[in-house]
Structure 1
Amino acid sequence: MQEINSPQIVLTDPAQNITTILERKVEDSSNPVLYRVQKSPGNWQDVRATEFKAQVVKLAKGLMAAGIEPGDAVGIMSRTRFEWTLVDFAIWYAGAISVPVYETSSAAQAGWALSHSGAKAVIVEKDSNAETIEKARNLENADVDLSALEFMWVMDRGDLQILEQDAVDITDEQVEARRASRTLDDIATIVYTSGTTGRPKGCPISHGNFVRLSANTKLTIPEIANETNSTIIFLPLAHVLARLIQVLALDAGVVVGHSPNIKNLASDLDSFKPTMLLVVPRVFEKIFEGAVKKAEKGGKLNSTLFNRSIDVAIAWSKAKIAGNVPLKLEMQYRFYQKLVYSKLHNAMGGAVKFAVSGGGRLAPLLGHFYHAVGIQVVEGYGLTETTAPLAVGRIRDFAIGDVGTLIPGNSVRLAEDGELEVKGVGVILGYYNNPEEDQVAFTEDGWLRTGDFVRIDENNHLTIIGRKKEIIVTAGGKNVVPAPAEEHIRTSPLVSQAMLVGDEKPFISALITLDPEVLPDELEHLGLPRTLTPKEASTNPTVREAIQKFIDEANAFVSKAESIREFRITDKDFTEEEGHLTPSMKVRRPQVLQDFSSYIEDMYNRTRESMNERSEKFQAYRAERNEKYQAFKAESAEKLHEFGEKVQKYSPKNAKAIDDAETPIEETLDVDGETWVAVTDEDAAAAGLLGESKQVEQVVTGLPASEPLDEDSADFTEQPSAQPDASEAPADITVVEPVGSEKPSRAEHEVIVGQTSPATASMSLVPEGEDYASQRTEGQGDWVQVESTPADSKDANSKK
């Protein structure tokens, strides 16, 4: 069992907690800027360490005065904004536990998190969030019990200010006592997994998980985690990765801003000008798609230049990483840097040097493209259960396509089936009040099963292959990892989401959703009316052709059995509101499979109908060809008998063998327009012509003896069951060669017309492109996979 251990390089005092990091900043004589708050569009105001602590203590007093005790759970339901961070630290200073709830959560989702954690209070951003909580109270759901929820405060109503005003009796010393009472072993937050399957599980993340992981990560990526950098957080703070980055930024001195509305992200980036970004892959995909769309709107020349710039970017990035950029490529890069890359870089604020991508795989194409733009994107890997990053790429050892090496303080090993198992400073000890899940998720010796298949190279770099629960197993037993193909298809500006399906099916297919935001522009680019609805566009041949191009490109990187044979474009996008996406934009596959089952059934039913129809056509065609074959066989046998005697006495005029025998011409015979001469049996035997099967074949077929069999002659020498030849078969029929057979030349396969080679096996018809292993016996819905090859190929057509 392969195992890697990376020891901690920073040891932490067990008596500390997350708030100790803030205390150190306050003690810094420079009183560093910790945050920038946007007071109005484009107007960012600095918040220094002492000011931030004062606000935190003030709110903590309010919570304590209201009755929040050490160890109480307090929910937070809000968009990503400065107040989210303020509330989080105030809860910790009060000795309590924060329970993040996604602002987009339904009543059932919010109710579950607050109920399961036993939350005593919840702080929400606005009235609509408060309404969601009230709905949760009234749910007729045995799993949701909010009887412990005593308080709900709404930020936008000014409830936090009222809390602060009511805290006159709480002293600074009382707050300090609460703050200092928490140790590294105490729970800091209970984060509920976004749950692509099943009920979300509560992950109790300790102060130690945050503090130790932050300290060791800081030394792992020093180019990013230092006081010269700044970042703007726009991912939900309910997500553990954003929470960890927030603690890491405070620890490393990175100045943080918040962007609550993704629609304003471009303007926020422009005014804030961050030097590093925290993203999920979908964000970079959307930015890239936006650039493609803008280029297309600029006309054919702009579009052509942009497409060329992508090729140059990828080539330059690969050469740069390898340490050898040819002069010509460098000149091309500089040309496009001025024309394309710099403009895109400026659109992201103009100062971004680094980005950390997590929450999913980033397509290598995008990694290389953004590298050329001027942004080194390092990918990280982790789970909610590992407090996010377990491994991360390094700037000093920059690579694209993997998630780097372990952060110190972590250990990994590969189970027999390739699943990654982990231990480490960020790994939780078990789920919150859920021993049943503990039994499933943890091994007997305490390792966490990640559910991910991972490859580890000789340099200990980790490459994520895919989620174990997302692996598709076809009816033929082929294991297919969907992520790479899905990632590539999503690079189409038309596409919002792509999800492969095919469990226990004969082949892989895909569900595709269109991006409603860019659809009108993309339709116009394709020469279609902008007014087409998503439903109309989903069946439009031009739209399907445009998406098929990306599917073909994705198929080029996988085997035939893994390739996408069918796809359907849905008439609506996957949404978080309908349960198709997690807040971090991951697809909830079970929900999609349920809600879009009609599309999936249609794909496979239509294919099965087509298979049956083609089978019927073939049976009729084979019967017709067999009748012709039997007639020709009888005619050929008669000719054989007639010419078999004559060929012993005749050879071609001027044939060298006969000349050498000095045989006089006794008589001539016209054979299919060719003059043959008569010889004696003795001379024919001396010349080696007596009984020559090659000559028999030449007489009957008119073919030179050295030529390979063609499709027509194959009817009579290779196909034992009167199998029709492919050249005359209907266009939608594929004639299959015997498994393991090769097409022999006539020199290798000397048989009289009508004789069957003993090596020939029985053959079957298959729908073109089916999974070979999926099915076996014709007539029982069983089919095999073959590759089509030219008629004169000597290679085996069958492929198992």
Structure 2
Amino acid sequence: MSATSVFDAFLKSVDKNKDNTAFVYRSAEGEHRVSYEKLFYDVLILSKAFEDKKMKKGSKVLLLSDNRYAWIVTDLALVSLGAVSVPRGSDTPTQELEYIVEHSECEYLIFETEKLYEMHKDAVVSGNKEIKSIFIIESEKAHKLFTKVYAYNDILTERGISDQDIEHFRSKREELTVDDVFTLIYTSGTTGTPKGVILTHKNFLYNIENLPEIIDLRSDDIWLSILPTWHIFERAAEYLALTGGCCTVYSTIKTFSQDLEQYRPTIVATVPRLWESLYIKVNNAIEKQGEKKKRIFDTLVNVSSTYKRNSRLLKNHLPVFEEKGAFERFKERLKARFTLMGLYLPNKLASKKLSAVQDKFGGRMRLAISGGGSLPPYLDEWIDALGIRIINAYGMTECAPAIAGRALNCEVFGTLGPPVHDTQLRIVDEEGNTLPNGEEGEIQVKGDQVFPGYYNNDEENEKSFTEDGYFRTGDLGKLTLTGELVITGRIKEIIVLASGENIDPSRIESTITKLPFIKDAVLVGQDRKGLGALVIPDMEKIKEHFSSIGEFKNDMTESLRDAHLIEAAKREMNKLLHPKKGFKPYEKIQSILFLEKDFEQGEELTNTLKKKRHAIEKKYSQKIQNLFKKDK
């Protein structure tokens, strides 16, 4: 590794790109552009202020904030001191925050606003003698005599910088090594208790030093940022841009479409849910222009998609999991050639017409990166048909985050590409035997990006690693014959929504099964907008509990499909999933399906009566598809 720490990488980038624009953001005063040199001084001043408050290497610091320029300045200031950030978003429930602060042994707390501080102080701050100081980013003045609460405005009054200050700040790089802890990120656990993922400088440096080559990162690239900064995917993207001398523009859901056209980014990194929103927005806009225009647009997309698919078949750029006979390959290729001949001129027209849609994305986007969940095939093909190069990436917080990606070094469409550089990836069966390419099993990985373990959690660490040091991802997948990865399902229980939010289903399932009319339930919603539930009902209790709806028919199968019953049951469930009880807004049930048969041991249940989620999702796959039909 050329850098000895993330802070060292930051300093090298500043020295090389000091006049470049590092960040663009808006505030009430208007637009602000920050050069790398200005960023350097902002970080230095805050680092100095933190050091004056006795913050040092190894100090654990809660950073509770959403996206803003002050977030990255704060994070870099913590990095410079060797302090360990414990980042979360403002929507974190108090109950969860209380656990994280206590479990991580935080000594310092940073809140984005006074409102956030007031919301959590009774549960998180009161009685916690370990907390040395509390800081509020956005506040006029907060410090009072004999209190330990400070606004940034209280500690940043002295903005003078001497040569000695600069020398002292830069010398901090000598105190950091690749094995020091960079951050501690809490992610959902299978028991409902968050797990603290320890990431070292080595883990994070692996990503920011190996990924630029496969995306051909350039110092004149402009990134549009919209994901929560504390999420590992967005954080890695921002540091990738930062250490590459690029410019990052902070956007919001509200201004995203406008910012695409105004700032004309070359790279956008986001989750499937946002690509889905753009898909819907573009299609709705064309639909409003009339049925004829919509039909023409759909035809153009179909022509482009079909032409690209057949072209890839001839170039061997489609996934292959088993060898085909020579005659079958000949037939496929012959058919593809005739298809390409027939679509040559229509595709030329389609490419020309669809370039107008590219203008909605700014007109110069060279890469669209999708991570934080699998990109649905229809979206993958749609973005590709528009002529935008999509990088479909696979990663986890535990890998800081990169595992595999269909980057510029891979042309095999419909896959997640090969494992990233120097990553050992294998597919194993239930006994731990390595499977040949083409066969499905658990994905296990080993490499410099893989975390050393969960903080103070021996039980999870023992379950998460094999004897020979591979990390068990809990995901099911298989490799093509040429080594590209495809995700096929999940062994582990965590559900990742299309928005990138991680949800522990067991906690929600155990809560809703407290209702008398629910015997069992399984949550679904991987890569979807929201959660769905497959419910095993207690028929007699259903009749009792919802008698006010009216008489039930003799055929209970028909009754269980009644829209009034489904809505009433959903309301009852969501009453239990209230934020005051520690649940987040996106943990509510959006749709439910009553099943007619109980889960059976050996089929949907293990010998110890644990639910086999993958088997359940496979058995009811069509019904789950129907449950989420409105998603598209």
Is residue 420 of structure 2 the alignment partner of residue 407 of structure 1? yes
Is residue 21 of structure 2 the alignment partner of residue 33 of structure 1? yes
In 2, the alpha carbon distance for the partners of 1:186 and 1:578 equals: 36
In 2, the alpha carbon distance for the partners of 1:435 and 1:255 equals: 41
- The 1:197–1:252 alpha-carbon spacing in structure 2 relative to 1, beyond 3 Å, is farther
User: Equivalent residue for 2:534?
Assistant: 501
| CA apart distance, 1:407 | 1.2
Q: TM-score, normalised by structure 2?
A: 0.72
| CA apart distance, 1:49 | 1.9
What secondary structure is seen at the aligned counterpart in 1 of 2:202?
helix
User: Equivalent residue for 1:314?
Assistant: 305
User: Equivalent residue for 2:8?
Assistant: 20
Is residue 282 of structure 2 the alignment partner of residue 291 of structure 1? yes
1:111 to 68, 91, 98: 98
1:49-448 aligned at under 5 Å gives the runs: 49-137=36-124, 146-158=128-140, 159-165=151-157, 171-195=165-189, 198-222=192-216, 225-259=217-251, 261-322=252-313, 326-337=340-351, 339=353, 341-417=354-430, 418-448=441-471
- The 1:471–1:20 alpha-carbon spacing in structure 2 relative to 1, beyond 3 Å, is closer
- State the Cα RMSD in Å: 4.0
Task: Report the residue type matching 2:137 in the other structure.
Answer: M
Task: Report the residue type matching 1:246 in the other structure.
Answer: E
In 2, the alpha carbon distance for the partners of 1:317 and 1:580 equals: 50
What secondary structure is seen at the aligned counterpart in 2 of 1:104?
coil
C-alpha contact 1:18 1:207 (8 A) present in aligned 2: yes
In 2, the alpha carbon distance for the partners of 1:65 and 1:319 equals: 64
Instruction: Count how many residue pairs are aligned between Structure 1 and Structure 2.
Output: 511
C-alpha contact 1:390 1:407 (8 A) present in aligned 2: yes
**Unpaired runs of 5+ in structure 2?**
141-150, 316-336, 431-440, 496-521, 539-560, 605-618, 620-632
User: Equivalent residue for 2:515?
Assistant: none
C-alpha contact 1:92 1:179 (8 A) present in aligned 2: no
C-alpha contact 1:443 1:449 (8 A) present in aligned 2: yes
Q: Per-residue CA shift, 1:420-448, capped at 9, x if unaligned?
A: 11111111111111112111111222221
Q: Per-residue CA shift, 1:107-151, capped at 9, x if unaligned?
A: 112222222211222222223322333143279xxxxx7432232
In 1, the alpha carbon distance for the partners of 2:279 and 2:221 equals: 24
In 2, the alpha carbon distance for the partners of 1:311 and 1:246 equals: 35
C-alpha contact 2:410 2:418 (8 A) present in aligned 1: no
In 2, the alpha carbon distance for the partners of 1:128 and 1:277 equals: 31
In 1, the alpha carbon distance for the partners of 2:45 and 2:537 equals: 59
C-alpha contact 1:471 1:482 (8 A) present in aligned 2: no
**Unpaired runs of 5+ in structure 1?**
1-10, 140-144, 473-480, 491-495, 506-537, 542-565, 610-772, 775-784, 786-800
In 2, the alpha carbon distance for the partners of 1:107 and 1:161 equals: 26
- The 1:363–1:23 alpha-carbon spacing in structure 2 relative to 1, beyond 3 Å, is same
1:408-557 aligned at under 5 Å gives the runs: 408-417=421-430, 418-470=441-493, 496-497=529-530, 499=532, 501=534
| CA apart distance, 1:106 | 1.0
In 2, the alpha carbon distance for the partners of 1:440 and 1:568 equals: 40
In 2, the alpha carbon distance for the partners of 1:212 and 1:348 equals: 30
| CA apart distance, 1:394 | 2.3
| CA apart distance, 1:312 | 2.4
| CA apart distance, 1:503 | 8.9
- The 1:580–1:421 alpha-carbon spacing in structure 2 relative to 1, beyond 3 Å, is farther
In 1, the alpha carbon distance for the partners of 2:41 and 2:159 equals: 14
In 2, the alpha carbon distance for the partners of 1:152 and 1:31 equals: 34
In 1, the alpha carbon distance for the partners of 2:23 and 2:139 equals: 24
In 2, the alpha carbon distance for the partners of 1:416 and 1:470 equals: 18
In 2, the alpha carbon distance for the partners of 1:422 and 1:121 equals: 34
Task: Report the residue type matching 1:210 in the other structure.
Answer: F
| CA apart distance, 1:282 | 0.9
C-alpha contact 1:295 1:302 (8 A) present in aligned 2: yes
In 2, the alpha carbon distance for the partners of 1:434 and 1:287 equals: 40
User: Bigger shift: 300-309 or 574-583?
Assistant: 574-583
In 1, the alpha carbon distance for the partners of 2:537 and 2:261 equals: 49
In 2, the alpha carbon distance for the partners of 1:336 and 1:361 equals: 27
What secondary structure is seen at the aligned counterpart in 2 of 1:99?
strand
User: Equivalent residue for 1:526?
Assistant: none
In 2, the alpha carbon distance for the partners of 1:570 and 1:215 equals: 47
User: Equivalent residue for 2:607?
Assistant: none
In 1, the alpha carbon distance for the partners of 2:246 and 2:363 equals: 18
In 2, the alpha carbon distance for the partners of 1:471 and 1:150 equals: 35
| CA apart distance, 1:37 | 2.9
Task: Report the residue type matching 2:104 in the other structure.
Answer: S
In 2, the alpha carbon distance for the partners of 1:184 and 1:54 equals: 24
In 1, the alpha carbon distance for the partners of 2:568 and 2:275 equals: 25
- The 1:330–1:236 alpha-carbon spacing in structure 2 relative to 1, beyond 3 Å, is farther
User: Equivalent residue for 2:148?
Assistant: none
In 1, the alpha carbon distance for the partners of 2:472 and 2:341 equals: 48
- The 1:194–1:294 alpha-carbon spacing in structure 2 relative to 1, beyond 3 Å, is farther
Q: Per-residue CA shift, 1:61-120, capped at 9, x if unaligned?
A: 111112212210112122212211111001111221111111211111222222221122
Q: Per-residue CA shift, 1:635-677, capped at 9, x if unaligned?
A: xxxxxxxxxxxxxxxxxxxxxxxxxxxxxxxxxxxxxxxxxxx
In 2, the alpha carbon distance for the partners of 1:91 and 1:162 equals: 18
1:678-697 aligned at under 5 Å gives the runs: none
| CA apart distance, 1:416 | 2.0
Q: TM-score, normalised by structure 1?
A: 0.57
Q: Per-residue CA shift, 1:338-392, capped at 9, x if unaligned?
A: 55x3343222222212111111111122111111222111111111111111111
1:592-631 aligned at under 5 Å gives the runs: 592=589, 599-600=592-593, 603-604=594-595, 607=596
Task: Report the residue type matching 2:244 in the other structure.
Answer: A
Which protein has greater RCO, CA pairs closer than 8 Å, 6+ apart? 2
Task: Report the residue type matching 1:332 in the other structure.
Answer: P
What secondary structure is seen at the aligned counterpart in 2 of 1:231?
strand
Bigger Rg, structure 1 or 2: 1
Task: Report the residue type matching 2:359 in the other structure.
Answer: N
In 2, the alpha carbon distance for the partners of 1:569 and 1:318 equals: 44
In 1, the alpha carbon distance for the partners of 2:105 and 2:26 equals: 34
Percent identity reads 25
Q: Per-residue CA shift, 1:431-480, capped at 9, x if unaligned?
A: 111112111111222221110111012211111111113599xxxxxxxx
What secondary structure is seen at the aligned counterpart in 2 of 1:449?
strand
Task: Report the residue type matching 1:219 in the other structure.
Answer: E
Task: Report the residue type matching 1:381 in the other structure.
Answer: Y
- The 1:62–1:608 alpha-carbon spacing in structure 2 relative to 1, beyond 3 Å, is closer
- The 1:166–1:248 alpha-carbon spacing in structure 2 relative to 1, beyond 3 Å, is same
| CA apart distance, 1:568 | 11
In 1, the alpha carbon distance for the partners of 2:572 and 2:351 equals: 37
In 2, the alpha carbon distance for the partners of 1:498 and 1:297 equals: 30
What secondary structure is seen at the aligned counterpart in 2 of 1:308?
helix
